[in-house]
Chains A and B, each alone.
Chain A
């Protein structure tokens, strides 16, 4: 398996623009997670899905952030409008569910480095 795939790897945009980050989880994994990493706050969970359904979005910072998972192999994280304080590395991760031995080990993608100027 190719692992978790994220695109783009780098994104530079101007304040006010819409940004869309994409993720393809590992095939067969039931869970998908979106994290944000900054120097100040470390790694924070934004939202996670189970079987394409959002389970917990309490980490989503504002209404400007939205995430979707239209099918088991694709998810997007959208920021509209973007602001300079959104600059961070955004990671997607996936994990198998209870049927896979219940380990719930998470596997991370390479991340998208977002810079909002």
Chain B
């Protein structure tokens, strides 16, 4: 059974810091990995999707990497801003188009 773990569970940083969120999964037979952002009381917004054959994806200040063999992904946020405060979720897709989610990392960026 695929399990997804996210570390840390919560993170508080001052504005301007670069930070890394971690995601690990137990079964490396994944199709892709997706990072989402969730604001309080809102739905999920897709940030980045990495195919299993890819090593990383970038969008603006966000960079996500994938090491399938070790079962790990990281989300790097450069020059963090208060507007980045949210819960960040990673999810892995196996066959059958099912996503398995981690519990998320709650990020707070202090101004």
Contacts and interface: CB of A to CB of B under 8 A. Distances in A.
Interface of A: 4, 31, 33, 42-43, 45, 48, 50, 55-56, 91, 93, 95, 103-111, 113
Interface stretch (B15-23, B71-79, B91-99): B91-99
Contacts of A55: 96-97
Interface of B: 31-32, 34, 36, 41-46, 49, 51, 89, 91, 93, 96-104
- Chain B interface SS verdict (over half): strand
A109 B43 contact: yes
Contacts of A33: 99
Contacts of A104: 31-32, 93, 97
Contacts of A111: 42-43
A109 B46 CA distance: 11
A91 to B, nearest CB: 6
A42 B43 contact: no
Contact of A106 (B34, B100, B102): B34
A48 B98 contact: yes
